[in-house]
Structure 1
Amino acid sequence: MMVPAALLLLGVLTALAGPRLLARADWSDREPVVALWAWQCVVAAVLLCCALSMTLSAATAWQVVRGHVFAPAPRGVVEAYMSGAAGPWAATTAVVLALAGAWSGAMLVREIAGARARRRLRRAELAVRAPRLPGETSDAGRLVVLEGERADAWWLPGTPPRMVVTTAALRRLKGRQLDALLAHEQGHALARHDWLRHTSAALAAGFPQVPVFAAFRGEMHRLVELAADDMASRRFGRLTTALALVELNEDRGVFGPSPAPQAHVPQRVHRLLTPPDRLAPLHRLRLTATAALVPVIPVLVAFVPGLRALG
């Protein structure tokens, strides 16, 4: 089988098997950081399969590309990749995959541009509702308190980043609950969860017919919240973090008989109140290493003909 076709087949198998294996895993809620890493490795492997297949197909179809890809390679290596290659299909495959890659890039640019536009609007609103006080020279690390009847708090990334909390949240959250809430939002900022959300949203919007990307987006939104909950609970305790979540969302109807808008909040509270046993450090290390090997497999498949020719 041609290497580009083998890579495409490997990408399809990874896209089908990866989400199913991760969905059946009983450790994802126990170790959300490891699960985030595993999902990123699966998606990276799928994208790498497509990129390598596109490159080798283009090298097969066009001499100019072949000269750049195999410039330092011996003649035997080039012949190993070119033997048995189908020219017309190679050109079609390369063009289709290149268009898919360009479309992915465009979706990512659109997602980031939209996020920045929304961020500018929120910053402009903050400048009006919470102007800089006399004597303030910098907004870096500034905690902004907004007058509001709805308890809420969020981290606004950018330069400089800001933590925003409403007066309703200050009234509702008691003692260390506010600290736990702020630690949760800081956890998102420190781990750069906004980039995971942008990337997963861009892939899901660009290729809605590909289930792995839709599953990737859904799991990113769920797992980043669990990871931030764990970061807050390690500093201020699980009970305090759970109570902060309850106080913050009690008026939003998420704990009612049909909590449709944010059904994950009750699950997060239950997880904090009944914490699952964490995996042993060696087990976490094995899972992390196994996930890291998934994107390596396409690279090994791509290099098999060259290694055989050299051997």
Structure 2
Amino acid sequence: MMLPLALLVLAGLTAAVAPRLLPGTEWADREPVLALWVWQCVVAAVLLCCTLAMALSAAGAWEDVRGQVFAPAPHGVVEAYALHGYGPWAGTVAAALACGGAWTAAMLTREIRSARAERRVRRAELLRRSPRLPGEHAAEDRLVVLEGERPDARRLPGPTPRLVITTAALRRLDRRQLDAVLAHEQGHARARHDWLLHCSSALANGFPQVPVFAAFRDEMHRLVELAADDTASRRFGRLAIALALVELNEERGVFGPCPTPLAQVPQRVDRLLAPAPRLSPGHRLRLTAAAALVPVVPLLVTGVPALRVLG
């Protein structure tokens, strides 16, 4: 039973330490795409630890599961794990971890269903305010302009993604700023940021007592916006997307002294107007490789008994 416990301890340490170290890293704002990768690797390592601990505990508790888990392994490898000595707690640990996995799947399903329901409501409202012309197909609705006194631009994801922009936004934005906003939203779509947000929200809502999942959700919401800002700035310049952010959010009070839900907008504008230098390619490569090794650690810990026998 020592190996599953070691994996659970490793998961607990990772879940406790990562939220203290990663959000304060100076390079995250300079390299948001790399920071997204690091966070995904850390969360994947925590989930992998729990999955491997569940598999080993179940193999120690039930003979049928053991035959499935160690089907391709030589007999000596199975003996190296000493599954018969796991004791009566193995089944309880495996069942608890399996319930956690089922709860995670249920929360992700609920998150996706909720997002789809909200998207249906928004599309119905959009169709009410901007009905299709005779002969016009849904796939053609890539850009929809709505009458509105407040400048706004948002993307509706789905099988036929659409960018909705109000007439007030069109009056405020010049051509380059509008193109930057379009590029920003296209950056979200190409990188599938909506799936990252769904997964992070499902984990945080399902396990609010686990600090790494709450930090993962908060950082995903922040980093995906920075990554999309960089996508737009590479095509149309940092000044264009910064001015577009100001024009779209100025009337919402985000630049005042009182905090609002969009309080990160001023930081995004400051970051665009006074960009810090990017990390060197070598530094980015080292961080990428180091992050990729984090999920490998649980695999190495799990494989130690087998490696001893095969070696």
Contact 1:2–1:85 (8 Å) recurs in 2: no
**Correspondence for 2:183:** 183
Distance in 1 (alpha carbons) for counterparts of 2:85 and 2:266: 55
Q: What is the RMSD computed on CA atoms of the aligned residues?
A: 1.3
Distance in 2 (alpha carbons) for counterparts of 1:119 and 1:53: 38
Distance in 1 (alpha carbons) for counterparts of 2:140 and 2:33: 28
Q: Secondary structure at the match of 1:214?
A: helix
Distance in 1 (alpha carbons) for counterparts of 2:151 and 2:256: 18
Q: Give the drift of 1:159.
A: 1.4
TM-score by length of 1: 0.97
Distance in 2 (alpha carbons) for counterparts of 1:225 and 1:13: 29
Q: Give the drift of 1:141.
A: 5.7
**Correspondence for 1:284:** 284
**Correspondence for 1:96:** 96
Is 1:154 matched up with 2:154? yes
Contact 2:60–2:84 (8 Å) recurs in 1: no
Q: Which amino acid aligns with 1:240?
A: A
Moved more, 254-263 or 42-51: 254-263
**Percent of aligned pairs sharing the same letter:** 72
TM-score by length of 2: 0.97
**Correspondence for 1:205:** 205
Distance in 1 (alpha carbons) for counterparts of 2:244 and 2:38: 29
Q: Give the drift of 1:126.
A: 1.4
Distance in 2 (alpha carbons) for counterparts of 1:115 and 1:85: 46
**Correspondence for 2:19:** 19
- Aligned ranges 1:7-156 → 2 under 5 Å: 7-82=7-82, 85-140=85-140, 142-156=142-156
Q: Give the drift of 1:86.
A: 2.7
Distance in 1 (alpha carbons) for counterparts of 2:74 and 2:109: 39
Q: Give the drift of 1:82.
A: 1.9
CA pair 293-140 structure 1, distance change in 2 beyond 3 A: farther
**Correspondence for 2:163:** 163
Is 1:310 matched up with 2:310? yes
Runs of at least 5 residues in structure 2 that lack an aligned partner in the other structure: none
Q: Which amino acid aligns with 2:95?
A: V
Q: Secondary structure at the match of 2:23?
A: helix
Contact 2:60–2:83 (8 Å) recurs in 1: no
Moved more, 26-35 or 159-168: 159-168
Q: Secondary structure at the match of 1:277?
A: coil
Q: Give the drift of 1:85.
A: 3.3
- Aligned ranges 1:236-255 → 2 under 5 Å: 236-255=236-255
**Correspondence for 1:259:** 259
CA pair 141-289 structure 1, distance change in 2 beyond 3 A: farther
**Correspondence for 1:231:** 231
CA pair 223-173 structure 1, distance change in 2 beyond 3 A: same
**Correspondence for 1:172:** 172
Runs of at least 5 residues in structure 1 that lack an aligned partner in the other structure: none
Contact 2:48–2:295 (8 Å) recurs in 1: yes
Distance in 2 (alpha carbons) for counterparts of 1:83 and 1:60: 4
Q: Secondary structure at the match of 1:271?
A: helix
Q: Secondary structure at the match of 1:24?
A: coil
Q: Give the drift of 1:182.
A: 1.3
Q: Give the drift of 1:181.
A: 1.1
Distance in 1 (alpha carbons) for counterparts of 2:2 and 2:186: 48
Query: For this pair of structures, how many residues does the alignment match?
Result: 311
Q: Give the drift of 1:84.
A: 7.3
**Correspondence for 1:268:** 268
Q: Give the drift of 1:92.
A: 1.2
Distance in 1 (alpha carbons) for counterparts of 2:259 and 2:140: 37
